[in-house]
Amino acid sequence: MSGFINEAGRERIARVALGAALLHLGWGEVVSGGLGTFLKFIGFIPLFTGVAGWCPIYAALGFRTNRQTAGV
């Protein structure tokens, strides 16, 4: 399973925190209008990629922020 993870631990934590903050701003109605609606949905992207540890853009570019161990 670690072969699919392409994000470092600190980056994953930052993505989850960012996603949660964006969702709070949108769903908590801290920000209203079109921007609030945008935040309600865009916040799921960093949240899900942080939880999964896999970023499709990184995968497409062959980029990773975590250390790849030998034999993986």
Give a yes or no: residue 24 inside a domain: yes
Residue 69 placed within a domain: no
**Residues of the domain holding 43:** 9-61
The residues, any chain, with a CB within 8 Å of residue 2's CB and separated by 6 or more, are 69, 72
Number of domains in the chain: 1
Q: Which pTM does this prediction carry?
A: 0.85
- For residues 15 and 20, give the distance between their C-alpha atoms in angstroms, rounded to a whole number: 8
Query: In this predicted model, what pLDDT tens digit does every residue of 25-65 receive, in sequence order?
Result: 999 999 999 999 999 999 999 999 999 999 999 999 999 99
